[in-house]
Amino acid sequence: MSVRAERYLAEIGITVYKRRDLAAARASVRNAPTELAADARAAGALAQPGSLAAAQPLPIAPTHEAWERLAAEVRACTLCALHKTRTQTVFGVGRRDAELLVIGEAPGADEDRQGEPFVGRAGQLLNAMLRAIGLPRGEVYIANILKCRPPGNRDPQPEEASLCTSYLARQIALVNPRAILAVGRIAAQWLLQTDSPIGRLRGRVFRYGESGTPLVVTYHPAYLLRSPLQKATAWTDLCMVRELLRKKA
Ligand code: SF4
């Protein structure tokens, strides 16, 4: 592990393995792809036709016009009642040709104010986690399932997610990422159309949509701020993403 990666891990509060523990830690990372293959097979049962993933459109031509049209539609959207209480829509941010697409659940108060996903303390932790696998925030694309903030930061309601989901589907098709990182229970359950707890969804690779894009689930950084002991677990999820991106397309 590079000194820089160690520094970022320390920054997000993860103890770096040294000496004797290093061999075991490396073995664990080396074994990950084998475990992933088995998990991916198991995951196939979740992403069957009829699920949201199966309905995901294939990649579409990522023209400037296509992006601008989509952004304008979102800005003007009044499909669900959340438009009445939002300060502004939160479309998404980052490289439009990113290899990694990060998907969260919905804007919070800071995001609603700034118009950008994952800002504030949770956003800073997410940025540090991404940097730790060599991906600065500007190198990925970040979006939410909902583009408007649910009042009081309540969970998104299924009908809100249903009404909003076509925007995210089009973002996924435009970015056409090599991997998707679903951040938090709500995002993971919606994308995979399952009610399995996040503890059973993380630590494996799913295949998303007709393009079969690898999808990894991890904990929401807001949860990690409340439960720092889980940061090491989240780190193993991020290592999985790193391995997926290292593989040849
Ligand atoms: S949450 Fe989505 S569907 Fe609801 S108003 Fe905002 S953009 Fe439209």
130 in Cβ contact with 140 (< 8 Å): yes
Q: Does residue 79 line the site of ligand 1, with CB under 6 A?
A: yes
Q: What separation in Å is there between the alpha carbon of 182 and the centre of ligand 1?
A: 20
Mutate to test the pocket of ligand 1, among 82, 90, 186 (most ligand atoms within 8 A of CB): 82
Neighbours of 18 (CB within 10 A): 9
pLDDT surpassing 50 at residue 34: no
Candidate from 83, 90, 167, 171 with most ligand 1 atoms within 8 A of CB, to mutate? 83
The reply to whether ligand 1 has any atom less than 6 angstroms from the CB of 77 is yes
Q: Is the CB of 147 under 6 A from ligand 1?
A: yes
pLDDT at 235 over 60: yes
Q: Return the pLDDT at 12.
A: 72
Reported as a single tens digit per residue, the pLDDT across 61-100 is 789 999 999 999 999 999 999 999 999 999 999 999 999 9
* Ligand 1 within 6 A of CB of 71: no
Q: According to the model, what pLDDT value does residue 28 have?
A: 38
What are the tens digits of pLDDT across the range 89-105?
999 999 999 999 999 99
**Helix ranges, the chain (H):** 3-11, 20-44, 52-55, 64-75, 109-114, 120-132, 158-175, 185-192, 198-201, 221-226, 231-246
Say how many C-beta atoms besides its own lie within 10 A of residue 69's C-beta.
12
Of all residues in the chain, the percent with pLDDT exceeding 70 is 76
DSSP-based three-state secondary structure for 57: coil
- How confident is the model over 127-179, as pLDDT tens digits? 999 999 999 999 999 999 999 999 998 999 999 999 999 999 999 999 999 99
Write the burial class of residue 185 (CB in 10 Å: 0-12 exposed, 13-18 middle, 19+ buried): buried
CA-nearest residue for atom 1, ligand 1, is 148
Q: If you write DSSP's letter for every residue of 189-236 in order, what string do you get?
A: HHHHT----HHHHTTSEEEETTTTEEEEEE--HHHHHH-GGGHHHHHH
pLDDT band at 122 (very low <50, low <70, confident <90, very high): very high
Work out the average pLDDT over 98-117.
97
What distance in Å separates the CA atoms of residue 61 and residue 77, rounded to the nearest whole number?
Answer: 23
Q: How far away, in angstroms, is 84 Cα from ligand 1 center?
A: 10
Distance between Cα 235 and ligand 1 center (Å): 32
Tokens 């049962």 found at: 45
pTM attached to this predicted model: 0.82
Averaged pLDDT of the chain: 85
Distance 77 CA to ligand 1 centre (A): 6
What is the best residue among 111, 145, 146, 149 to mutate for testing ligand 1's pocket, by most ligand atoms within 8 Å of CB?
A: 146
Better-predicted residue by pLDDT, 249 or 6: 6
Helix axes 64-75, 158-175, angle to 10 degrees: 160
Cα gap 110→117, rounded to integer Å? 9
Tell me which of 225 and 24 has the higher pLDDT. 225
